[in-house]
Amino acid sequence: MRHITIVGVGYVGLVSGACFADLGNDVTCLDISEERIENLKQGIMPIYEIGLEELVERNVKAGRLHFTTSYEEAIKDAEFVFIAVGTPSDVDGQADLRYVRMAAESIADVMDHPLIVVNKSTVPVGTGDWVANVIRNRRPDVPQFSVVSCPEFLREGTAIRDFMHPDRTVLGSTDREAAEQVAQIHLPLRSTIMITDLRTAEMIKYASNAFLAAKISFINEIANICEALGADVKEVSYGMGLDKRIGHSFLNAGIGWGGSCFPKDVKALAYMAEVEGRNPHLLHAVMDINSDQRRAPIRKVKELLGDDLHGMTVGLLGLAFKPGTDDMRDAPSIDIAHHLMQAGAHVRAFDPVAMPTAQPILPEVELVDGVEALADGADALILVTEWNEFKNLDLARLKSLMRHAVLIDGRNVYDPAFVREQGFQYRGIGRGTNGEGVH
């Protein structure tokens, strides 16, 4: 059993804390928000993540998982302190490190024994060295410590599984001994552990997210070409993915990527490159394609219903940036709703989980409590988030409720022939063999 402290109870912090506790460690999770910590003590999670509540409850009961707002209490027995606080980006894409600085300074203030400070937040390349300086400047007489970068690769919605079964664990430090100590607590995960220098570890995180975002933008570009040339991107993607060098994952065309990570990280990487006088052409194209892609469903609605959508009602199936989460950060649904409203449409939406988080972000959108209410009198439905419960819709029933039976499949989950048999006009993304080119 090792003593681990996690600073920040967002996705990364809370999932890592609960998982490390489940592996038999003594874990204290700290957050500066009294409300979050009070809620956690009462079993109320600050985020929606499948399996997290049960995992937290089990480990709290077993006495391995504790919550506090006090740095003294959190650090007194700690061997490792993980920094897992948010790093939002400003308008230029520059990561805002104020929470990382606050965490580092607070750790420095109370440290009374040697510590390994592990950075799990996604931070600009060079931040590990900066954190060490922040700690030393704050307290020149601070006890011995080392900084290790351990980027997180978990995905929302599958975070616990991703933590417990990682493809790899990347550790970076100038202190090899400290990195090996951190490797020890990851051994039960039985993944490949790579130890490198601090900056390289930090770069691996950005490069990985940027690559995945690029893969999606690539297939979305191919989707647009498929529409023009009469090919089906779903089949193209399947055929491409059979090549082991390409692979099937992150090759689904759709309405583009969103969430708290890809948009922020691609932008931040481009910013870091530009500050150093480099021109990251590809990263800019990856972002441009993504913002264009959010207009694709609107183009398709207009193609079928006309350019002026005044008096029309469009229903959004799903709002979260992907299934399995209530996260609305940079969700494609936000742009899609705004583009539709700009064209004059009345927008309605239903999401099984994300409506409370969506409400303040999209106050003009009418939130309804189910798929039938969404379809009632509507002129078009757009599948935005591919929740399982949207995959087998009772299309005959929905058609009977709608004014115009139009279905735009923003995630290519439906069989176009079947949807058409049910009397719908169907448009997917890049499914050009179905006579749906947008010219």
136/415 Cα distance (integer angstroms):
60
Residue choice 3, 58, 138, 155 for contact with ligand UGA (CB under 6 A): 155
Residue choice 250, 292, 420, 437 for contact with ligand UGA (CB under 6 A): 250
122 binds ligand UGA (CB under 6 A): yes
174/127 Cα distance (integer angstroms):
13
How many Cβ atoms sit within 10 Å of the Cβ of residue 236?
19
- Side-chain-facing half-sphere of 382: CA atoms under 13 Å: 30
Beta strands 168-173 and 145-149 are: antiparallel
Q: How far apart, in Å, do the first and last CA atoms of the chain sit?
A: 63
259 binds ligand UGA (CB under 6 A): yes
CB of 310 to ligand UGA, least distance (A): 30
CB of 248 to ligand UGA, least distance (A): 9
Which residues from 202-221 bind ligand UGA, rule CB under 6 A? Answer: 209, 212, 216
Contacts with ligand UGA by CB under 6 A: the residue count is 20
415/418 Cα distance (integer angstroms):
5
153 binds ligand UGA (CB under 6 A): yes
86 binds ligand UGA (CB under 6 A): no
Residue choice 86, 128, 258, 410 for contact with ligand UGA (CB under 6 A): 258
Q: What residue type is assigned to position 122 of the chain?
A: T
27/20 Cα distance (integer angstroms):
7
Piece of 15-23, 98-106, 191-199, 246-254 that binds ligand UGA (CB under 6 A): 246-254
364-372, long-range: CB < 8 A, 24+ apart: 364/337, 365/316, 365/337, 368/315, 371/317, 371/398, 372/397, 372/398, 372/401
294/345 Cα distance (integer angstroms):
16
Rg (CA), the chain: 24
152 binds ligand UGA (CB under 6 A): yes
CB 111 within 8 A of CB 75: yes
387 binds ligand UGA (CB under 6 A): no
Closest residue by Cα to residue 119 from 270, 8, 209: 8
User: Is 226 a catalytic site residue?
Assistant: no
Residue choice 4, 111, 117, 154 for contact with ligand UGA (CB under 6 A): 154
Structure token digits, residue 77: 């027995």
CB of 51 to ligand UGA, least distance (A): 15
Q: Name the active-site residue from 19, 29, 150, 261.
A: 261
Piece of 49-57, 253-261, 335-343, 358-366 that binds ligand UGA (CB under 6 A): 253-261
Nearer to ligand UGA, 265 or 436 (CB): 265
Active site residues: 261
**Which residues of this protein are in contact with ligand UGA, per CB under 6 A?**
122, 152-156, 209, 212, 216, 250-252, 254, 257-259, 261-262, 321-322
